[in-house]
Structure 1
Amino acid sequence: MTAYKIAVLPGDGIGPDVTKEAVKVLEVLKKQDPTFDIVFEQFEWGSEYYLAHGHIMPEDGLDQLKNFDAILFGAVGDKRVPDEVTIWELIMPIRKNFQQYVNMRPIKRLAGIESPLKNEQPIDFMVFRENAEGEYSNIGGRLYQQHSQEMAIQNTVITKQGVERIAKYAFEYAQKNNKSKVTSATKSNAIIHSMKLWDEVVELVAKDYGDIELESNFIDALAAYFVLRPESFEVVIASNLFGDILTDLGAALVGGLGVSPSGNINPEGNFPSMFEAIHGSAPDIAGKGIANPIAQIWSAALMLNHLGREDLSTAIVDAIEQVIQEGNVLTPDLGGTSTTQEVGSAIAEKVLKLVEN
């Protein structure tokens, strides 16, 4: 039996706390399931590393990571370090160099979670965000800084290949999971070059999947529909920025950022994929032991599914849902008084029972 090699990057703020709980749950599976083996190697890269060394990861950092089966990432961000350092010298190099062009974010209300919406219908859809180009490109600059005529240019990059591959991934997912509709986020009425190309390529891809409906909505209307009729969505595709914003809104509808996972996927498997909660480092609650570890534990479940262990992934999500439904061990963001560690342990115990049965 081959062990899965997982690189663990706890990062900043609450990252180490929630990542520790995700690893705890995976270790329970390793001890209980004789068909499952996993080996972790932890890398203490992040803001503290930057303050000590002047760079956020070693120059050969990507070389160190590339031979792992997957990466479990905590969070990044520290007020002592500029955001352009933490984002563009750690997360972005991993996503872009490892061609993790699919960002997948489930928007799913688990049993026991109250939504701020009055609508009690099930909310369960997947958002696929283009993760390698789009609005998050490092092309542009600033001129005449500190002068009255100061200006800034930030270019959006939309390529036919980039749109085609995220659209194909979304339609393939829809087909494999018996979904009947894919919704595309656009703004081609106002952004007439990049979003027109987006629309044209998505429509072209959709023709190869005649059994799946393509719905296209302008981003502003789509944000409203997320609130007014979230039950109507099955699969959503969006550009980098649009997807980022929509999934934070979606997370708010199903319990908040503390319960929302994500995966940065390299579909071809040429490089490791990376899994992380969609929340940030939350410096305001760092070190207080009250961060919700569910999003990170669920991200670990997405990782197992990606590695081919759907059975164990399902066990983790079922365990999370059972803990939430019981309502005895919850962090403050879900109305409880329990600590990060207590919630992680409760989920680990449920996983153990599920796997035993």
Structure 2
Amino acid sequence: MREYAIAAIPADGIGPEVIAAGLEVLRVLDQRDGGFRLKVEEFPWGSEFYKRHGVLMPADGLDRLRSFDAIYFGAVGAPDVPDHVTLWGLRLPICQGFDQYANVRPTRILKGLTAPLRHCGPGDLDWVIVRENSEGEYAGHGGRAHRGFPEEVATEVAIFTRAGVSRIMRYAFRLAQSRPRKLLTVVTKSNAQRHGMVMWDEIAAEVAADFPDVTWDKMLVDAMTTRMVLKPASLDTIVATNLHADILSDLAAALAGSLGIAPTANIDPERRFPSMFEPIHGSAFDITGKGIANPIATFWTGAQMLEHLGEGAAAARLMRAVERVTEAGILTPDLGGKATTREVTDAVCEALRGENV
């Protein structure tokens, strides 16, 4: 039997609720399939850990995670801890420390869901957004001077390297090449940002020469938002910078129905380190403890994790079960339904136990 070591970091807000639901579904799946087993160890890191210890994870946190096959992450952030402290204290150190440079965010309208766009249903919106996840606008370089004085200044330096842009561009072209439409859209803002973004465009053209079977085009990020809303069927695979893809993927999730269904994978394509899988909805303290958090994003990112581990058949079975449940109208309030987290989780587990999934 194939065994995989999974580090679970539920962290903050609804994170523990959805990670518990995700692990329950994954256990049903590995029991049914019988060919693999997930060995899970949970780590209590996050904002509560920070309030007790002054850090979001221990100094040896990365060393403790290094031996795992994958990381299953909930959400980080709390109302009484500054957002930049939580982000730079847990999630980003893991992404950057393990060089998870490809952030992959699939989006599609699941069966049974009514998307905000008129005349847009399942099959009309089926995208994968590839986000450069190691540098760009989130490189963490810059500083502040003359704090508290009228002349106070803050700088935020975006860093684009040939190595970083080339590797994410190749990843995106390969991903586009593997999808039926073989279509890639490269997003920049090279009309206004004439250095890093122009280099991004130039490298895209260089890499494209190695993928003659992939049709590709370029969009400025502001025009891209319009295209996503007005011509969703014209898009398939999308690659963008750390900041641009972060914003566009939230728009994509809303257009598909809710942030509550949106997954993401932080991938080290070379598999030197564990990759990390998480829903993108955040800690959502406004609904924490109410039992209504949507677990679908966590199920979907669990499917991404299984696919990364080589369990593609199990991943596909999980997504079929999820869509059987959404098609049956068992939906949490963010999708217009009245179901609880527990009810959606039970329904997916039951679908997985069924003979025909």
CA contact (8 A) 1:141 1:153 kept: yes
Q: CA deviation at 1:353?
A: 1.2
Q: CA deviation at 1:345?
A: 1.3
Q: Distance between the aligned counterparts of 1:163 and 1:257, measured in 2?
A: 28
Q: CA deviation at 1:349?
A: 1.1
Give 2:341's aligned amino acid.
T
Give 2:35's aligned amino acid.
T
Deviation string for 1:96-121 (max 9, x for gaps)?
A: 01010000001111111111111325
Q: Distance between the aligned counterparts of 2:325 and 2:156, measured in 1?
A: 44
Aligned to 1:277: 279
Q: CA deviation at 1:344?
A: 1.1
List alignment gaps of at least 5 residues for structure 1: none
Deviation string for 1:61-94 (max 9, x for gaps)?
A: 0000011000000000001212122100100110
Aligned to 1:290: 292
Query: What is the SS of the residue equivalent to 1:142?
Result: strand
CA contact (8 A) 2:33 2:314 kept: no
Deviation string for 1:139-195 (max 9, x for gaps)?
A: 111111111111110000111111111111111112122332110001111000010
Kindly indicate whether residue 333 of structure 2 is the aligned counterpart of residue 332 of structure 1: yes
CA contact (8 A) 1:7 1:68 kept: yes
Query: What is the SS of the residue equivalent to 1:49?
Result: helix
TM-score, normalised via structure 1 length = 0.97
CA contact (8 A) 1:10 1:19 kept: yes
Q: Distance between the aligned counterparts of 1:181 and 1:337, measured in 2?
A: 38
CA contact (8 A) 2:29 2:318 kept: no
Q: CA deviation at 1:2?
A: 3.2
CA contact (8 A) 2:101 2:134 kept: yes
Q: How does 1:315-330 map to 2 (within 5 A)?
A: 315-327=317-329, 329-330=330-331
Aligned to 1:12: 12
Give 2:75's aligned amino acid.
A
Query: What is the SS of the residue equivalent to 1:288?
Result: coil
CA contact (8 A) 2:7 2:42 kept: yes
1:197 to 188, 196, 199: 199
Aligned to 1:344: 345
Q: How many residues get paired?
A: 355
Aligned to 1:235: 237
Between 114-123 and 104-113, report the one with greater CA deviation.
Answer: 114-123
Between 81-90 and 125-134, report the one with greater CA deviation.
Answer: 81-90
Q: Distance between the aligned counterparts of 1:89 and 1:60, measured in 2?
A: 13
Q: Distance between the aligned counterparts of 2:321 and 2:128, measured in 1?
A: 20
Q: Distance between the aligned counterparts of 1:44 and 1:336, measured in 2?
A: 32
Query: What is the SS of the residue equivalent to 1:136?
Result: strand
Q: Distance between the aligned counterparts of 2:257 and 2:322, measured in 1?
A: 13
Query: What is the SS of the residue equivalent to 1:137?
Result: strand
CA contact (8 A) 1:29 1:36 kept: no
CA contact (8 A) 2:177 2:183 kept: no
Kindly indicate whether residue 25 of structure 2 is the aligned counterpart of residue 25 of structure 1: yes
Aligned to 2:99: 99
Query: What is the SS of the residue equivalent to 1:91?
Result: helix
CA contact (8 A) 2:77 2:283 kept: yes
Q: What CA RMSD, in Å, does the superposition of the two structures yield over aligned residues?
A: 1.1
Deviation string for 1:250-286 (max 9, x for gaps)?
A: 0011011000111000001100000000111011111
List alignment gaps of at least 5 residues for structure 2: none
Aligned to 1:139: 141
